[in-house]
Amino acid sequence: MKVSVVGATGLVGTKMIQVLEERNFPVTELIPVASEKSAGKEVSFKGKKYTVTNMQDAIDRKSDVALFSAGGSASLEWAPKFAAAGITVIDNSSAWRMDASKKLIVPEINADELTASDKIIANPNCSTIQMVTALNPLHTKYKIKRIVVSTYQSVTGTGVKAVTQLMNERKGVKGEMAYPYQIDMNLIPQIDVFTDNGYTKEEMKMVNETKKIMDNSIRVTATTVRVPVMGGHSESVNVEFENEFDLNDVRELLQHAPGVVLNDDIKNLKYPMPIDAHERDEVFVGRLRRDETQEKTLNMWIVSDNLRKGAATNAVQIAEYLMKNKLLAIRK
């Protein structure tokens, strides 16, 4: 199978190539694509070097599937061209997520919606993916009415520039700034730009994507915060259900939920942290407790590696599902 990775030299693109190798995805030819400034660079995959190329070349070489992580504008321009050439695109940007004609997929939840005719498939926002992966089994049993979520998001979600800023500040070195403020020894209650309603785009992504993936009737409100952490995103989630729940049943559901690891043992100070989620594909859940101010409401803590399950791994899992169910048109 010919696989293009668009944005191959970025944090997520690099992680996509790593995950393809780790999961032994059947790549016969890797086609790494990046911007002109990366032309001629090489990436490694299974002991071989591959030279970075451009968008049109990836189309001309007849990729079977293309994993996109090159930003919204590149996706809007090029994903339809790939699709028109018969290439299935799995896009990690926000470009297609809320397009009514495109599927927004978390494999553990709604991969069965996919068909062979889906040529542009949207990968949800990283903070949305981990939240819905943990909440969907609870929604199936108890029916979620409302979610209040506050996030604590890693600098890796912004990209290489933000990681460099954090490391420079730790060393006392002046350099290029990814954020308008210092991030080391600080946190910034703004991710992406503000919209007219006072919420940021990141917050509205969580609202709208959760509804599209799980249930449009769920009310969601979010506050997203950038913190000086690498390794993963964390979320404090307050969930109100229509039906009463038992905490032991909740634990049982989460212990058997696909892609979820329950780490909830406060007697031994066991709970999920970003450092534990780093380079892991699971979504970790802990700090389960009733909201004592309101009936049928649960508090929980959710952590996941935003570059893996929040981006690269979820995209590769979609490709795996398409392949397993013969939904990819593999060309000889």
Name the residue ranges covered by the structural domains of the chain. 2-124+311-324, 127-306
pTM of the model: 0.96
Q: What is the pLDDT along the chain (332 residues), one digit of tens a residue?
A: 999 999 999 999 999 999 999 999 999 999 999 988 887 899 999 999 999 999 999 999 999 999 999 999 999 999 999 999 999 999 999 999 999 999 999 999 999 999 999 999 999 999 999 999 999 999 999 999 999 999 999 999 999 999 999 999 999 999 999 999 999 999 999 999 999 999 999 999 999 999 999 999 999 999 999 999 998 999 999 999 999 999 999 999 999 999 999 999 999 999 999 999 999 999 999 999 999 999 999 999 999 999 999 999 999 999 999 999 999 877 65
Q: Cα-flanking dihedrals φ and ψ of residue 73, to 5°?
A: -65, -40
Please confirm, yes or no, whether 256 is among the known catalytic residues: no
> Residue 62 is encoded by which pair of tokens?
């007849």
Measured distance CA(98)–CA(208) in Å, rounded: 8
> Is there a contact between 4 and 58 (Cβ–Cβ < 8 Å)?
yes
Q: Give catalytic status of residue 126 as yes or no.
A: yes
- Give 250's contacts (C-beta < 8 A, 6+ positions apart): 138, 288, 298
Length of the chain: 332
Q: Tell me the CATH number of domain 2-124+311-324, given options 3.30.70.2190, 3.40.50.300, 3.40.50.10610, 3.40.50.720.
A: 3.40.50.720
CB 227 within 8 A of CB 187: yes
* Side-chain half-sphere exposure of 210, counting CA atoms within 13 A: 29
Q: Tell me: domain 127-306, CATH 3.30.360.10, correct?
A: yes
Name the active-site residue from 126, 139, 256, 278: 126
